[in-house]
Amino acid sequence: MVTLSSIWIVDPWKQPLLQTGLFALSGAVTNWLAIHMLFERVPGLYGSGIIPLHFEDFKRGIHDLIMKQFFSKEHVERLFMTENGKTEELPDMTPLIQKIDLNPAFDSLLNVIEQSSFGPMLGMVGGIQVLQPMRQPFQEKMQQCLTDISETDTFRRGVSDLILEHSKQENIHEKVSVIVQKRLEELTPGMVKDIIERMIAEHLGWLVVWGGVFGGLIGLFSSIILNQNQFLQW
């Protein structure tokens, strides 16, 4: 538009406006082409389509980032051990204990009583059913007992040591690495291109705008400098 308007503008502003428009257009087109070349192959232009071409490097980069930053051997061990070598505090296990169904435990207790020498005596007063009212109090007492046990230092150290020993035996670090690698193998060049394009294409659009702005300013200033005599006479 600036370039077209220069047709009807007289000197000394005709040339500056023409140069401004041409430089702005060239800056915007150049930046747009550069963005396009990131994601698509352009025949005859070396280096175009760099993201699809190097998607294997992209996958390796993601793998290394995940394994080194989030699942390094040091970080895995730090989940269970403090800097002083003591076991890390386990989370509160009370919510988990409260979800445990203790009915099988009470049923087993009733079965033991029924099979014992105490069974015939219960049969004289109504059988094992007379103990059913004890089911709820039994569950509450058992939950409290399990909670108290889970809060003891001996129990918590034992669980932490068991988890740590298990993690070393099973080599969690290597297993995570294999899982991440298999998931990344599902990526295709097109998927990699789409992922990056969604991440940055919207923001890269501003490069086109600013390419036009700065290109136009360069064209304006260069034209004024080259035609400064006309401006002085004007």
Would you say residue 187 lies in a domain? yes
Would you say residue 141 lies in a domain? no
Determine the structural domain holding residue 195 and report its residue range: 2-96+147-233
- The mean pLDDT value for 184-195 works out to 73
Rounded distance between C-alpha atoms, residue 135 and residue 142, angstroms? 11
Of 75, 80, 71, whose CA–CA distance to 162 is shortest?
80
pLDDT of res. 135: 84
pLDDT reading at 107 higher than 60: yes
Would you say residue 67 lies in a domain? yes
pLDDT in tens, 34-75: 777 777 777 777 767 777 777 777 777 777 766 765 566 666
Would you say residue 19 lies in a domain? yes
Q: Which residue has the higher pLDDT, 205 or 41?
A: 41
Rounded distance between C-alpha atoms, residue 21 and residue 81, angstroms? 65
pLDDT of res. 2: 46
Would you say residue 107 lies in a domain? no
171 secondary structure, DSSP code: T
pLDDT in tens, 75-106: 655 655 544 444 455 667 777 778 878 888 88
- Mean confidence (pLDDT) of the chain: 70
Would you say residue 135 lies in a domain? no
pLDDT of res. 149: 75
Rounded distance between C-alpha atoms, residue 202 and residue 142, angstroms? 59
Would you say residue 121 lies in a domain? no
Would you say residue 113 lies in a domain? no
- What percent of the chain shows pLDDT beyond 70? 56
Number of structural domains in the chain = 1
- What percent of the chain shows pLDDT beyond 90? 0
